[in-house]
Amino acid sequence: MAKHHRIPSLPGPEDVYRATLSNGITVLARSNFNSPSISMGGYLPAGSIFESDDKLGLADFVSSCLMRGTQTRTFDAIYNELESVGASLGFDSNVHNLNFGGRSLVEDFPLLLTLLSESLRMPTFPKKEVENLRVHMLTGLALREQDTSNMAALAFDRMLFEGHPYSRPGDGYVETVQSITRKDMREFHRRYFGPKGMVVAIVGAIEPRKAVGVVESVLGGWQVPGQVMPPSMPKHKAVKKTVREHHPVPGKSQSDLMIGMIGPGRNDPEYFPASLGNSILGQFGMMGRIGDVVREKSGLAYYASSSLNSGMGPGSWEVSAGVNPANLDRAIDLIEKELRRFVKNGVTKEELAENQENYIGRLPLSLESNSGVAGALLNIERFGLGLDYYQRYEAMVRGVTRADVLETARKYIDPERLVISTAGP
């Protein structure tokens, strides 16, 4: 057979280069010369886990301000520079990390990294920009108050993760966002931003070692001697019996509900059985069994599905649905019955096989773009999955048995200890 010089579709140790710079930044790079562009993604540990209860939303506010002005460029200058070369750069934050992503043509990659570096290292939090952004954030919080789906999710997290950092909303509350000062922002930036724990993934038309060299030249000199590292995650307390709460949102024609429990973290051995089980329960096809029983057969819901959110700490495994307020209790009842059936009987041979094929078939599609591969590399690094993770993926998915799914379902889903959150009229 003739040798093809096509990039193997799954990233692995032979084509991903990983290097750690002397200041603690980890760089992962993989080349793809099929297009002249580069995708970059990354994170550093400066998320909302560091916020005090009276300043919730601070990490989010800081991340939104990073490109609003630096010591060398104004807000307009940053955006004009990106626009003039057709590049993009953006930041957001979550509990654990400040995340960033960008793309550019290969020749503009040094510029992209320079703008990233300036935004991370020397934002000035200009007064006018901070106040404009605050108005925007407060408007978002006012809209959240009127959104039944958001309000149900907020109460769900508060009940499920009581006393844990995951119980708090990343965008804060009106009163906390109003109380955040520019001094708070500068202080947050000074303490938690730095190269330690920072990860950058670069995928595109550049040799991997060269990509690492560019990062080294732009960010290798960043030093923050007193950079505060994140605290370890506290243990989570499980609910003892089913808890239910309704959040009234007057004048709405739809109610939203969430029912769920703690799920496995991303590194728990039950992750794959739970993920496949969840797909069967409320994802695959027309939203799985939950969608089938609540939406298709009973016509009770506008949408109904389940999701597994697995990260660094305890995950959540939740069913959500939007229903006519008159059908709320019936929908909850049907979902509970479906969960009972799931932990009693597990999944069929056909369901498992179909979902395994779907997982395996979807993987190459998710790695077709440079940004998809960059996201995959960050995933590997964030959870310590190993550079050969995507090459082992098919075997791991196929290795899950019906017994594994059933055992995992029984470990996490206890129909007598659910968290039920509803919002609507």
Give the model confidence (pLDDT) of 236-287 as tens digits.
Answer: 888 999 999 999 999 999 999 999 999 999 999 999 999 999 999 998 877 7
How do the pLDDT tens digits run along the chain, 425 residues long? 444 445 557 999 999 999 999 999 999 999 999 999 999 999 999 999 999 999 999 999 999 999 999 999 999 999 999 999 999 999 999 999 999 999 999 999 999 999 999 999 999 999 999 999 999 999 999 999 999 999 999 999 999 999 999 999 999 999 999 999 999 999 999 999 999 999 999 999 999 999 999 999 999 999 999 999 998 888 888 899 999 999 999 999 999 999 999 999 999 999 999 999 999 999 887 778 998 888 877 888 889 999 999 998 889 999 999 999 999 999 999 999 999 999 999 999 999 999 999 999 999 999 999 999 999 999 999 999 999 999 999 999 999 999 999 999 999 999 999 999 999 99
Residue 232's contacts (CB-CB under 8 Å, 6 or more residues apart) are none
d(CA 357, CA 239): 35
Cβ-contact 317, 261 below 8 angstroms:
yes
Of 209, 200, 208, the C-alpha closest to 375 is 200
Residue 343 tokens read as 């932990």
Of 43, 379, 378, the C-alpha closest to 194 is 43
Q: Which amino acid is residue 382, in one-letter code?
A: R
Is residue 61 helix, strand or coil?
helix
Model pLDDT for residues 141-153, shown as the tens digit of each residue: 999 999 999 999 9
d(CA 303, CA 278): 16
Q: Where are the alpha helices (DSSP H) in 55-126?
A: 58-65, 75-84, 109-121
pTM for the predicted model, two decimal places: 0.93
Q: What is the largest CA-CA distance in the chain?
A: 68
Cβ-contact 290, 363 below 8 angstroms:
no
d(CA 255, CA 330): 12
Q: Which domains does the chain have, with CATH numbers?
A: 17-219 (3.30.830.10), 243-424 (3.30.830.10)
Among left, alpha and beta (phi > 0; psi -120 to 50; other), residue 69 is: left
- Report the 10 Å Cβ neighbour count for 171: 20
Q: What is the dihedral of CA 106, 111, 117, 119, to 10 degrees?
A: -120
Q: What is the dihedral of CA 300, 142, 188, 127, to 10 degrees?
A: 150
